[in-house]
Homo-oligomer: A and B are copies of this chain.
Amino acid sequence: MSEQQEQQPGLRERKKQRTRQALSDVAIALFLEHGFDKVSVADIAAAAEVSKPTLFRYFPAKEDLVLHRIADHQGEAARVVRGREPGQSPLAALRAHFHARLDARDPVTGFSDHPAVRAFHDLVYGTPSLLARTVGFTARDEKELADALRETGAGDELTAWLAAAQIVTVHHHLALANWRTLTSGCAPSEALVRAHADAERAFDLLGAGLGGHYG
């Protein structure tokens, strides 16, 4: 007689999602206000009204309260390569995708007009322990991209692996460059055209190699 027939996620699951979200939101708000190192996990747990062990059941480390948002983008590069148009090269697909994300102001590009997102970037890039924790994520990203590239059959094992590493590195540095441009006080409109230009040159370099400049 109850009307809860067509809802896949049960009550328990919904509560968990809400607790997780609340935990992350409360944590990031506190981090942005006082700094990552000045806020203890006990503070966060208290503010979110859960116990400390519960907090760690949701997030394995303090850093993950911030980084799970980035973690959600895991394997994006691999998906882009796998889902590219027939006849399009992997590199062309990645290039087009990055430009598109840039125009959409996607936080993963390091670019944003929104002060809140900028503050979030300041937090991540400005906190060494957060930066260090990203390694694990990029490593998995790299591995997935390497798998995707290997599936194209265009290169051997080592080549795919190295290519994946180079692509991920360039992505990361492009985002970093955009963040630096913005935090140095550059106007967003001007920063955006520069970001596109930088991306063009970066992908050109990736495709043509370092030989033209340093070889």
Contact = CB atoms under 8 A, between A and B. Distances in A.
A215 B92 contact: yes
Contacts of A131: 135
Given A135-B135, A214-B149, A159 B206 contact: no
Interface residues on A, range: 35 or more
Interface string A158-197: 1101110111011011000100000000000000000000
A92 B132 CA distance: 31
| A-B complex: 10 closest residue pairs judged by Cβ atoms | A209-B209, A207-B211, A155-B213, A207-B215, A90-B214, A91-B215, A208-B209, A132-B132, A169-B169, A154-B213
A214 B160 CA distance: 9
A6 to B, nearest CB: 42
A40 interface: no
A131 B135 CA distance: 8
B209 A159 contact: no
A152 B212 CA distance: 13
Contacts of A167: 210
A206 B165 CA distance: 12
Given A215-B89, A215-B92, A210 B163 contact: yes
Contact of A132 (B133, B149, B162): B133
B207 A158 contact: no
A53 interface: no
A69 interface: no
B214 A210 contact: no
A215 B91 CA distance: 5
A87 interface: no
Nearest to A133: B132
A198 interface: yes
Contacts of A158: 177, 198, 201-202
